[in-house]
Amino acid sequence: MNELETRVGERRTFAIISHPDAGKTTLTEKLLLYGGAIHVAGQVAARRARRSATSDWMELERERGISITSTVLQFPYRGHTINLLDTPGHQDFGEDTYRTLMAADSAVMLIDAARGVEPQTKKLFAICRERGIPLFTFINKMDRPSRDPLELLDELESVLGIAAFPMNWPLGNGERFRGVYDRTTHEVHVFERTAHGATRAAVQMAGLGDPGLRELVDDVSYREFIDGIELLEGAGARFDRDAFASGAATPVFFGSAATNFGVQLFLDRFLELAPPPGPRAFRDGVPVPPESPQFSGFVFKIQANMDPRHRDRVAFLRVCSGEFARDMVVRNGRSGKEVRLARAMRLFADERESLETAYAGDVVGLANPGVFAIGDAVFVGSELTFAPIPAFAPEHFASVRSIDSAGYKSFAKGIAQLREEGAVQVFYPYGSMRSEPILGAVGELQFEVAKYRLEAEYNVRTHFSRLPHDTIRRVEGELVGATPLQLGSGSMLLEDWEGRPVLLAEREWSLRLIEEWNPKHRLVPFTTRLQQEATA
């Protein structure tokens, strides 16, 4: 095995997905804690004096207590390089989550032990299934009153249609949750709580026959614990790694991110089971292996103002093959231009440090003076292609204007950069020479974020007016004259950022009338097949 193959084989790149409030940010913090990337949960070691979630770097995230943008956290653990992609939990930011999943080799699905499979869980699972992403399941919050573990396993299989194989089994639940039984080593991990779960939980190993186990929980919980293990072992089922690799089966872990119970056990088994980087690039339809010497990668995210002092823009590049080196010259497949990658960064939430080399599976931050866009393929040598990153159809619309006319230049810059990030989609009245913009969003909370960021990052006060429209179509056919289309009541003809015509309508039925009135034009859906499945 050569050096490049060794480096690629050490990489593990995964995303965490969940319904809001399932504990995703907490689990992220605890994986960093047990991975040695931070010393105290909520604080980057030797980097921050304030206590706050490491992955939630945007000020609005800390104010609202939710994740609204994806984050990259890279750290070494037991001879491997872990690239953890933390995704927004709120459904209004599902498009950002989808783009991030395009860069992941596996995913961890977080389930609330009291609530089970929730609506956003199903939507995110549909995305993983579409891509065949190997999926781990962590059933969280066992330190609170929880549903029966067997019932939760059955729900995974009946609702999501994925085979669920428990890798461990909980001892008690709620306040009586004391540990987990490791089905591989046949040992019970008995934990002690720490103050607020900020440091590692002390753990002792015990056998199933240890008389001290019965004293840890009530008789009913102990009997359920033993009966559950006997039932699982009696079934004789074995974990199918091939089914896991294809996305047909999921290894299930029980634990509590808040108390740290079961976190290290999960992290260690994740390292053992998670796949290394696989082929992402194609040459003439043939997959390019990640250990190929030809460098390639794609941009899946752009973020402005991670460092407000410098008003920077960072492109997140997933390395797909070969070795990245600072100052290398690559070709952008979209523009056809050569670009020197002079300012490269290793990312850890909003912290970054200079980066000299990276390998397939790694995520590299690139200073982006407007040369990269989401979905760009970059490579050295002959042409390579990647699967496209589709845009979701916006479902909510609002016109926005700057209250202070003197700040219009900053307003226009802010709108342009939010569009570049994919935070919102931007439209203008057709033929209006880019007057007052109309923003489109998958979820309404995106408007709140856009308004907040325009004020906080660009010092622009704005007024948003929500529009009643909820249906958008692309328009195909020649548009000539002052009234190119006969529009129905409440409909609007707009153009997107590239000047392509789109139609907004208040109701689906009105589209049929417009099609009848305009037989020379076609109204084409925005929606991709993936979005239809994910929102079903």
For the segment 235-259, the average pLDDT, to the nearest whole number, is: 95
- Is the model's pLDDT at 236 over the cut of 70? yes
For the segment 198-207, the average pLDDT, to the nearest whole number, is: 91
| 321/256 same-domain check | no
Which spans in 201-334 are helix H? 212-216, 219-235, 241-245, 263-273
196 confidence band (pLDDT: 50, 70, 90): low
Report the number of distinct structural domains present in the chain: 3
Beta strand 249-254 pairing with 163-166: parallel
| pLDDT score, position 435 | 75
| 305/418 same-domain check | no
Q: Is residue 454 part of a domain?
A: yes
Specify the DSSP element, H or E, that contains 473: strand 471-476
* Domain extent at residue 94: 12-273
CA distances from 80 to 7, 34, 131, 272 (A): 9, 14, 24, 11
49 confidence band (pLDDT: 50, 70, 90): very low
| 150/43 same-domain check | yes
| 25/98 same-domain check | yes
Pair 313, 301: CB distance under 8 Å: no
Q: Is residue 3 part of a domain?
A: no
pLDDT digits (tens, 9 = 90+) for 54-94: 544 456 555 555 555 678 899 999 999 999 998 875 666 66
Q: Is residue 389 part of a domain?
A: no
Q: Is residue 117 part of a domain?
A: yes
| pLDDT score, position 479 | 73
Cα-to-chain-centroid distance, residue 142? 24
Report the share of the chain in percent with pLDDT over 70.
89
| 149/294 same-domain check | no
| 266/310 same-domain check | no
| pLDDT score, position 262 | 96
Write down which residue in 223, 242, 273 finishes a domain: 273
The whole-angstrom separation of Cα 453 and Cα 442 is: 17
| 373/461 same-domain check | no
Mean pLDDT, all residues of the chain: 87
- Is the model's pLDDT at 1 over the cut of 90? no
List of residues 6+ apart from 3 with CB closer than 8 A:
none
Give the domain CATH number at 479: 3.30.70.3280
| 251/127 same-domain check | yes
The residue among 66 and 148 whose pLDDT is bigger is 148
Q: Is residue 4 part of a domain?
A: no
Pair 188, 205: CB distance under 8 Å: yes
| 127/96 same-domain check | yes
Q: Is residue 442 part of a domain?
A: yes
What phi-psi label fits residue 276: left (phi over 0), alpha (psi between -120 and 50 degrees) or beta? Answer: beta
Q: Which of 52, 62, 93, 86 is nearest to 72 (CA)?
A: 86
| 96/161 same-domain check | yes
| 217/72 same-domain check | yes
Write down which residue in 379, 404, 439 finishes a domain: 379
| pLDDT score, position 223 | 94
Q: Is residue 5 part of a domain?
A: no
Write down which residue in 247, 273, 299 finishes a domain: 273
| 113/195 same-domain check | yes
For residue 286, how many other CB atoms are within 10 A of its CB? 8
Give the domain CATH number at 71: 3.40.50.300
- Is the model's pLDDT at 121 over the cut of 60? yes
| pLDDT score, position 42 | 58
